[in-house]
Structures are given as C-alpha cells and as structure tokens.
C-alpha cells in the first residue's frame, strides 16, 4: 500500500472552500493541507485488510459455507481503531471525506485483482429514506462514487430500495439478520441487469446478510456476477 497517492487533486476551488471549511483528516479529525486526504501517520495506523481475509466472502472467519449469493467481497480495512472511527464519522458526523480514501483503496484493490474493468455498473446498498433525509446522503452511495471515480462505470442508486430502518446489527443473531435483511430490501425498478457484472457497495460488512440479500435481488434482475466492495469488515 506504499504507493497510494494521498493527494485528493483538490485544485483552487477546493482551496477557497477550505478557508471556510478546513480539510480534516477523516481518521483523527485534525486539520490537514487542502490537497491531501489524510495524515500520513493515520494512514499507516489504519488496520488495512490483509491476505488473512477470505477472498470470496470478505470475512476473516470464512462464511462461504452459508451459500452466499454475492460472488466476492473486497473490504478496505478491518472495523477497528482508526478505520472504525472514520466509518462512524462517515455515518454519524457528516464526515463524507472518509468515503474518498476508502474508495481509493477499494479501487486500487479492484484494479490489482484485475476486476475493475469487468464492472458494468455500481449499486450502493440503500439506506432507509428517513436516514438519508436526516444525514443528507447515503454513505454507501458516496463509497460507490469514490470507488469508481475516474472510470466510466455508472453509479445507480435507484435500483434497490429499503423498507425499514432495521435493528442495530450486532443485537441480532446471524439467522435473524438474514431473515430481516431479506425482508428489508427490494427491487425498485423493472431493470434488466442481464449478463452484467455489478459492483455492490456498502460501508460495513458484518454478517454478510445485507450484501447477500441485495446480491440476490440484483441476480433476480439478471446480474451475472456481484462483486462487493465494503469500506470495512468486522473481524
Ligand atoms: Zn489523521
Ligand atoms: Zn469465505
């Protein structure tokens, strides 16, 4: 991960903005130069995902035996330490910049795995409407946007819908999560994804229930392959 450029390519417009809204590191919240994404020290301290993770399910303790309907999941980091802080900031403290750096790492990994070129469309896991209105954005959409930045891959957030806010993930058993996720998501549009490879983006990979349910719907719409990208994976 040494060669990752941390520059955000900000430009003059961004500099003017920074006079009013200083650029802050998504990992420690300190003010940083306008043209970088985070502190170098923070970058080195983030528990980035490593080779111990199952390349198919994206979990440290493989859950492939559950018969997942997504084909693979690439996480950027483990859900702990600075990465956990950044994801919570993205979710609850309007720190949308955190999506930029996770997206950059995910794009690098997809490229390194030779997968980026195979992706036809990117779809974010939807959030409950009230949550989006309150926050002003869907963090999974920001991740999808930043992951495919600089490519021609379109991001479409009108394919999947979500009916309910859902319980706090960790309070449910894996079985209950699967059942709940299956009831929460639906296809909003009569779309055909026939033969397409879809990139499904989400912030946190916990039990895989959300990605599994969403992937099942995308496949119902004809998707040939669903590759997931998650900012973080829970150990
Ligand atoms: Zn920092
Ligand atoms: Zn696995």
pLDDT tens sequence across 120-175: 999 999 987 766 667 778 899 999 999 999 999 999 999 999 987 665 555 667 67
| Mean pLDDT confidence for 184-209 | 93
Same domain, 178 and 78: yes
Same domain, 91 and 123: yes
Same domain, 90 and 158: yes
Q: Report whether pLDDT(101) > 80.
A: yes
Same domain, 6 and 101: no
pLDDT in tens, 19-45: 567 888 999 989 999 889 999 999 999
Same domain, 133 and 204: yes
Percent of the chain with pLDDT over 70: 83
Ligand 2 centroid to Cα of residue 230, in Å, is: 15
State the total domains in the chain.
2
Same domain, 116 and 200: yes
Q: Report whether pLDDT(1) > 50.
A: no
Taking the C-alpha atoms of residue 8 and residue 24, their distance in angstroms, rounded to an integer, is 12
Taking the C-alpha atoms of residue 172 and residue 166, their distance in angstroms, rounded to an integer, is 10
Same domain, 61 and 115: yes
Ligand 2 centroid to Cα of residue 16, in Å, is: 46
Would you put residue 163 in left (φ > 0), alpha (ψ -120 to 50) or beta? alpha
> Which residues constitute the domain of residue 23?
1-45
User: Which ligand does the CA of 55 lie closest to?
Assistant: 2
Same domain, 183 and 206: yes
Handedness of CA 99, 103, 104, 109 (dihedral sign): positive
Same domain, 41 and 112: no
Phi and psi torsions of 214, nearest 5°? -65, -40
Q: Report whether pLDDT(181) > 50.
A: yes
Residue 72: band (very low, low, confident or very high) from pLDDT cuts 50, 70, 90: very high
User: Which ligand does the CA of 60 lie closest to?
Assistant: 2
Ligand 1 centroid to Cα of residue 37, in Å, is: 9
> Which tokens hold the place of 73?
């999941």
Residue 3: band (very low, low, confident or very high) from pLDDT cuts 50, 70, 90: very low
| Mean pLDDT confidence for 70-92 | 94
> The domain spanning residue 180 has which CATH number?
3.40.50
pTM, to two decimals: 0.88
Same domain, 35 and 61: no
Taking the C-alpha atoms of residue 7 and residue 62, their distance in angstroms, rounded to an integer, is 35
User: Which ligand does the CA of 53 lie closest to?
Assistant: 2
Ligand 1 centroid to Cα of residue 215, in Å, is: 34
Residue 9: band (very low, low, confident or very high) from pLDDT cuts 50, 70, 90: low
Residue 219: band (very low, low, confident or very high) from pLDDT cuts 50, 70, 90: very high
Would you put residue 102 in left (φ > 0), alpha (ψ -120 to 50) or beta? alpha
The pLDDT value given to residue 183:
78
User: Which ligand does the CA of 70 lie closest to?
Assistant: 2
User: Which ligand does the CA of 82 lie closest to?
Assistant: 1
Same domain, 14 and 119: no
The pLDDT value given to residue 2:
41
Residue 180: band (very low, low, confident or very high) from pLDDT cuts 50, 70, 90: confident
Same domain, 20 and 41: yes
């Amino acid at each position: 991960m040494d060669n990752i450029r941390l520059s955000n390519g900000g430009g003059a417009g961004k500099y003017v903005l920074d006079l009013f809204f200083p650029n802050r590191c998504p990992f420690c919240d300190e003010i940083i130069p306008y043209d970088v994404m985070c502190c170098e020290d923070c970058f080195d301290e983030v528990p980035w995902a490593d080779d111990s993770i199952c390349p198919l399910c994206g979990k440290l303790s493989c859950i492939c035996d559950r018969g997942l309907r997504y084909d693979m999941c690439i996480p950027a980091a483990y859900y702990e330490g600075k990465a956990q802080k950044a994801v919570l900031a993205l979710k609850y403290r309007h720190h949308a910049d955190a999506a930029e750096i996770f997206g950059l790492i995910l794009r690098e990994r997809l490229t390194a795995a030779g997968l980026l070129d195979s992706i036809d469309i990117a779809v974010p896991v939807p959030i409950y409407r009230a949550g989006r209105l309150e926050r002003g954005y869907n963090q999974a959409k920001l991740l999808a946007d930043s992951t495919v930045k600089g490519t021609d891959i379109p991001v479409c957030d009108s394919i999947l819908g979500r009916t309910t806010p859902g319980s706090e993930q960790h309070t449910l058993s894996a079985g209950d999560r699967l059942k709940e996720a299956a009831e929460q998501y639906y296809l909003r549009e009569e779309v055909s994804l026939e033969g397409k490879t879809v990139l499904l983006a989400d912030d946190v990979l916990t039990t895989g229930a959300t990605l599994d349910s969403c992937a099942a719907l995308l496949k119902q719409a004809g998707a040939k392959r669903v590759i997931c990208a998650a900012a973080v994976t829970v150990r």
